[in-house]
Every structure is written in structure tokens, then in C-alpha cells.
Amino acid sequence: MITHLATTPFGARPMSLGLISSQLTAKEVKKDATVSKWRVFGDIREAKDALGATDRALAILDALLSFHRGDELTAQGGLVVFPSNKLLIRRANGMSPATLRRHLAVLVTCGLVIRRDSPNGKRYARKGQNGEIEQAYGFDLSPIVARAEEFENLAAAAQAEQKAFKLAKERLTICRRDIVKMIDAGINESVPGNWRGFLTRYETIVSRLPRTPPRQVLDAIVAELEELWADVHETLETFVKSEDSNANESHSDRHIQNSNPDFNSTDESEHRYGKINEASGSAEKTDNVRNLPKRELTLGVVLNACPEIANFSRSGPIRMWRDLAAAADVARPTMGISPSAWQEAVEVMGPDKAAVTVAAILQRADQINSKGGYLRTLTERARNDQFSVWPMVMALLNARMERMGSAAGAVEMPERGQGGSDGGGAGHEKPTSIEISSALAKTMKGKGWK
């Protein structure tokens, strides 16, 4: 039968109150206590930080448990194992003797094992006549049985802490990503807001983040970032709601403040309803897309109808359709048209027609309250095949012709950028002229543009 003695360590190792406490805990183990040694070892491994155990110490404890026969530790069985240092080193993956001694001391300090030192410090067992072990000197594993429930609770707490730390890191990553991208979106989309202030707040919060922060610090920083996230998101959300409201108003034409009959007729032509005068009576208007001429607009006609767009060309005179698209992209921010509205128009209409639409809106900019909302509305109609740039450009062209007092016939137009004077005297400029074909003039006259 094994007898447990409260012994002091052999040699120069001192006695401590912690060793006495471990010995008392081992004495209080229940007589019928039985635990699975590998399950308890798994709990100890999970709770190693709370216990103060090291990885090397756990490797040695794993080796010590392997010297105990059977998978269960019982209070009635022999719980003292007595391997030599040579065997321990072999089973502990070949660590050095000095490392072995150092981490064996860690196991004792943590209260995971108790030293049962012999008078000469050797580890051995004395057997009786029947071959049973009467007295063993080595390492007592009884604290593992006595503290099995404690280890299980510590392991559960450690797992919960690891999960909370992982969730905090995920929240931190998502918050940082969202805030940075939302600030970039606000700046790129020209959304009104204190974006410099938001960016300064973000940098100040993130600068306090340590390289390896504890969970409590991480939670505090995440809480501040979530407050910043809410402020940035509210700014963007408020702007989007106002844009949607403007787009809804433009859909019912309440946002267009225009008394010019030419532009009103253009606006009406973009709907599938409304009336126009034809000959001596009035008739219901049919779908303008089906009634439009089959020819394509030329770049010259567009520039004649929308001369304002030329002021935004950065590469000189507009000579090609891509020059017009580039000028429209430059003019867009000054009109309050967001990049997303412009991109959607390009995708639905194509770059050329989207540029013509922006140029036409620019030409009547003083008569349209929400240019971005108006462009979105026209884009949506174009998506449903209910909008064409032809009537819009023709109305603008007709308005210019009427202002110049010219007939709808062909009048020679000087090249762009050239002035002119008649022979009657200096200081008298030629009136700006517009060159259109007779076929186009006839089409305009037949369609009610005059």
C-alpha cells in the first residue's frame, strides 16, 4: 500500500507554503475519485496560461502521465510515477537535462505534481512480498485527480476568453475596413461632410492600438471605432436619402423650373404621355422613341446645340466623341453629378449618348435644380427604352436658331474658335451661325421644331 508523506524537497531546493498547499490538496482527494488522465490533461493544456504552465512543462507532464499504467487516475491506485531523468528526456522529445529540471520545477510550482523525494533523492519504488508497491518515491499525480473539476472550469473560461478575443478582433477588422472605405466613398462621391475630421478621429483611435492588445483594451478601441462608424454611416445614409428624394421629385418633373416652351416640349417628349399641337388640332402623343428619326446625331450638331461643354475640354477643341465624353466627365462634378450616376448613365446609354445627355443638362443648368437626380431619371428611362437624346438636342438647337433669328435652312458656320467681322466696319461681329443639313431642317420642321 502506498503511503503519502509530507516531505520536503531533496537537496538545495527550498520548502514553500505553496508546496504545503499542494500536499494538503492531494490529501483532500475523494477516495472514490476517478478521472481520465488524458481528458484532464486536455483541460490543463487549455488553461495553461491561467495556471502559469509553459509548453515545455506540459510536454514533461505528458511524459509523466505516460508512465502511469491505465487511462484513468484513481485515488485508490498508485499515483506516484518514478521514471529516471534519462527516460523522461527520451519521452519529452529529447530536451536537455537543464531544461528538464527547470520545467519540472514549474510543474511543482503550479501545483500539478508533488515531489516525493527519497532520502537520497533517487526515484524508485519498494515492493512487498506479493509484488505490490509499498512505497514509491518520485512525482505524485494526485493533485491532478483532486483538482480535475477546477481544471475543467478554467479550461471553459479560457475557451470563452479566446472566443471573445477572436470576436473582438473580427469586429476591429470589419470596423477599420468599413470606416476607411466609407470615408473614401464620401470623398470620391463629393458627399458633404467633415471627412477630414472623421479621418483624424480614425487615426487617433487606431494609433492607441498596441501590437498585442489584451481583450479589454481591444473592446474599448472597438467601441470607439463603432461610434465613429455610426457617425460616418449616418452622413452617407442621409446624403443617399436626399439624393433618392431628389430623384423621385425629378421623376414627376417637380424639380424642373423652366418656362421655355422648347425645353418643356423636350421634357414632355421624354414621357409616354402628354399632348402636342400638330397642324390645326391636338393629338395624343405616341412613344417618342418609335417616332424619332432613324439617323444618328453627329458630333457637330451636338456641339452646335450644347456649346457650353467646350469650356470643359482639357485637350483643346472637341474633335472626337471621346473628347466629348472626357469633357462631360470634367463638367460632371461642377454640376453635382456623382461618379455613380455618371457611371450608370455610361453603362446604360453608352459613353457617347451619356456625354450628350450631360452636355444638354449643362446647357440648361440654370433651369434644373437637381442635375444628378435628373440624369438618374433619364438613365432609368433609357434603360426602359423610353428616352432618346435626339429630341433634347433638337430642342436646344432650335432654341439657338430662334435666338439668332435664323431660319431652319442652312447657314454657313465658321470654325470653332474663329471670330468674324463684316466689311462694314470694325467692331461688328458676325452673328454665330449653325450648319445643319436641309434634311435635318426638314425633319425639325415636320416634327414641330422650328
Q: What is the phi/psi pair of residue 26, to 5°?
A: -65, -30
Q: What is the pLDDT of residues 25-50, one digit of tens each?
A: 666 666 777 888 899 999 999 999 88
- Which range has highest mean pLDDT (76-80, 147-151, 282-286)? 147-151
Q: What is the mean pLDDT of the chain?
A: 76
Angle at 104 between CA 101 and CA 106, to 5 degrees: 115
Range 62-69 average pLDDT: 88
- Which range has highest mean pLDDT (111-120, 132-141, 192-201)? 192-201
Q: What proportion of the chain, given as a percentage, has pLDDT over 90?
A: 27
Report the pLDDT value the prediction gives residue 256, as an integer from 0 to 100. Answer: 42
Local confidence band at 267 (pLDDT 50, 70, 90 cut-offs): very low
Report the pLDDT value the prediction gives residue 231, as an integer from 0 to 100. Answer: 92
The fold of 17-146 is: Arc Repressor Mutant, subunit A (1.10.10)
Range 157-172 average pLDDT: 93
Report the pLDDT value the prediction gives residue 175, as an integer from 0 to 100. Answer: 93
Local confidence band at 441 (pLDDT 50, 70, 90 cut-offs): low
Q: Is 168's pLDDT higher than 50? A: yes
Question: Per mean pLDDT, which range of 20-24, 300-304, 320-324, 376-380 is the poorest?
Answer: 20-24
Q: What is the pLDDT of residues 196-229, one digit of tens each?
A: 899 999 999 999 998 888 888 999 999 999 999 9
Q: Is 274's pLDDT higher than 80? A: no
Q: Is 355's pLDDT higher than 50? A: yes
Range 268-274 average pLDDT: 33
Range 164-171 average pLDDT: 93
Report the pLDDT value the prediction gives residue 28, as an integer from 0 to 100. Answer: 65
Local confidence band at 315 (pLDDT 50, 70, 90 cut-offs): confident
Q: Is 144's pLDDT higher than 50? A: yes
Range 125-138 average pLDDT: 75
Q: Is 411's pLDDT higher than 50? A: no
- In the beta sheet, which residues pair with residue 275? 284
Write down the domain spans for the chain. Answer: 17-146, 163-251, 261-421+430-446
Between residues 16 and 264, the one the model is more confident about: 16
Q: Is 16's pLDDT higher than 70? A: no
Range 125-137 average pLDDT: 75
Q: Is 17's pLDDT higher than 60? A: no
Between residues 134 and 319, the one the model is more confident about: 319
Q: Which of 34, 33, 42 is nearest to 61 (CA)?
A: 42
Report the pLDDT value the prediction gives residue 279, as an integer from 0 to 100. Answer: 30
Strands 34-36 and 72-74: antiparallel
**pTM for the predicted model, two decimal places:** 0.46
Q: Is 448's pLDDT higher than 70? A: no
CA–CA separation, 304 vs 414, rounded Å?
11
Q: Is 9's pLDDT higher than 60? A: no
Local confidence band at 257 (pLDDT 50, 70, 90 cut-offs): very low
Between residues 188 and 167, the one the model is more confident about: 167
Between residues 424 and 253, the one the model is more confident about: 253
Local confidence band at 238 (pLDDT 50, 70, 90 cut-offs): confident
Q: Which of 184, 176, 195, 110 is nearest to 147 (CA)?
A: 110
What's the 3-state SS for 350-413?
CHHHHHHHHHHHHHCHHHECCHHHHHHHHHHHHHCCCCCHHHHHHHHHHHHHHHCCCCCCCCCC
Q: Are 346 and 363 in contact (CB under 8 A)?
A: no
Local confidence band at 246 (pLDDT 50, 70, 90 cut-offs): low
